[in-house]
Structure 1
Amino acid sequence: MTAATELAAASDGRIRCAWIDESRLAPADFVLYRDYHDTEWGRPLRDSAALFERVSLEAFQSGLSWLVILRKRENFRRAFHGFDVERIARYTERDIARLMADAGIVRNRAKIEATIANARAAAALADAGVELAELLWSFAPPPRARPAGVADVPAVTPESTAMAKELKRRGFRFVGPTTAYALMQATGMVDDHTADCWVPATSPPSPKTAIAGSLHTEHRR
């Protein structure tokens, strides 16, 4: 399929990536997905706190539709205290029980425990003087042309595989190569809006290559 056959204008006259298909979504879901696509997805995000939320939500999305997570996002924020790293890092079994009883989120114990482990790993990074944003963005590839269509969008790349490996080494869970690439797409490390999509291209900040080298050398020694 070509981009032309994959993309069709929505009722507002704008052409979007094929996964925003108004004809297949309930009106409220289309608005939710449309706004996420138009204003968040693929926009460079360099704030460590915001990135921790994205890492957490991408992990919860594993095996589910992203729309499920979008519908529950505000519930997740409430349940996890705004994804405050320091607070989540101090969660106990009592917090896990509270979260498992919360019907407003995805009640998966392994993913809840992973979020707590990831908060502790992110806190350890900060204690070592490394920003989570700095680490994640060190894996951003050089800019490339937008894909012609969804068939040209990869699910995994060498960079996402390397990111997942490094995050696992540092104690993160539920962030495999596919989840890592979804994170890279969502936070603008790559621009996978398709060529005919109306969303303007953005220029992501260049990776700090010197810092990237220092962040990745420790485990190769």
Structure 2
Amino acid sequence: MQQYHDQEWGRPNHDSRHLFELLSLEIMQAGLSWQTVLNKRQAFKQAFHDFDYRQVQGMESELPSLMKNAAIIRNRRKLIATINNAKVINELANSGTTFDRYMWQFVADKPIQHHYQSHEQIPATTDLAKQISKQMKKDGFSFTGPVIIYSFMQAVGMVNDHEVDCFAYQEIAED
């Protein structure tokens, strides 16, 4: 958890494959602890072809074996959503829009800098996350409610929700 926080969480990321991975993991986390998801991350990478959305989009036939894979979270709705979202991301790519471009347009390509003193101040969602969630659903994404989307925005650095006294806050604010 510490390594994830120190090296990855909240750091602006523009790699569409990595963004798909984190969106998928946020979906898997719904109702569970993040620690559970991190513990299964490597197994998810193996099961989902290192989150290559071009390969994941065609995994419907693998759903029965995914449901038997004890190394991952075997929630059928979450697995189907991951495959569906890969299809949507591939459709975006085929139309000339990367998943990176699609997501970062919502924050004008610049992380929103919050100024939270403690984690108790950090909301579970925001109006912007609700707006993004609504647009994503309209565009065909699934299992992308506002809480999942806000967690995703935090994870990929679209918002800087590190506490102001955290070393990472200043590093990200200076970028």
TM-score when scaled to structure 2? 0.93
Q: SS of the counterpart of 1:134? A: helix
Query: Cα distance, 1:140 vs. partner?
Result: 2.1
Larger radius of gyration: 1
Q: Does 1:36 align with 2:4?
A: yes
Unaligned runs of 5+ in 2: none
1:102 counterpart = 2:72? no
Match of 1:50 in 2: 18
Corresponding letter in the other structure for 1:122: I
Unaligned runs of 5+ in 1: 1-32, 206-221
- How far the C-alpha of 1:166 sits from its partner, in A, is 1.1
Instruction: Compute the displacement of 1:145 (Å).
Output: 4.0
Shift of residue 88, structure 1, vs aligned partner: 1.0
1:193-219 alpha-carbon deviations (Å, 9 max, x no partner): 1122232431487xxxxxxxxxxxxxx
**1:59 — aligned with what?**
27
Measure, in 2, the Cα distance between the counterparts of 1:151 and 1:182: 15
- For residues 125 and 106 of structure 1, the distance between their equivalents in structure 2, rounded to whole angstroms, comes to 27
Q: Provide the residue aligned with 1:169 in structure 2.
A: 138
The two structures, once aligned, show a CA RMSD in angstroms of 1.5
Q: 1:154 aligns with which of 120, 123, 126?
A: 123
SS in 1 for 2:167: coil
1:185 pairs with one of 154, 164, 169: 154
Matched, 1:195 2:164: yes
Structure-1 separation of matches of 2:53 and 2:123: 31
Paired with 1:190 and 1:143, the residues of 2 have a C-alpha distance of 5
> Which deviations, in whole Å up to 9, do the C-alpha atoms of 1:173-198 show, x marking residues without a partner?
11110100001111111111112223
Q: Does structure 1 conserve the Cα–Cα contact (< 8 Å) formed by 2:60 and 2:83?
A: no
Identity of aligned residues (%): 41
- Note the 1:6-85 alignment, pairs <5 A: 33-85=1-53
Deviation at residue 158 of structure 1 after TM alignment: 1.5
**Shift in alpha-carbon separation, 1:160–1:204, aligned structure 2, 3 A:** farther
Once residues 143 and 191 of structure 1 are traced to their aligned partners in structure 2, the CA distance between those partners, rounded to angstroms, is 6
Q: How much does 1:86 deviate?
A: 1.1
- Does 1:116 pair with 2:97? no
Q: For residue 78 of structure 1, give the secondary structure of its aligned residue in structure 2.
A: helix
* 3-state SS, counterpart of residue 112 of structure 2: coil
* Structure 1 residues 204-219: aligned runs within 5 Å: none
Contact 1:56/1:115 (CA < 8 Å) preserved in 2?
yes
Is 1:132 matched up with 2:73? no
TM-score of the two chains, using structure 1 as the length reference: 0.74
Question: Hey, what does 1:4 align to over in structure 2?
Answer: none
User: Does structure 2 conserve the Cα–Cα contact (< 8 Å) formed by 1:125 and 1:132?
Assistant: yes
Number of residue pairs the alignment of both structures matches: 172
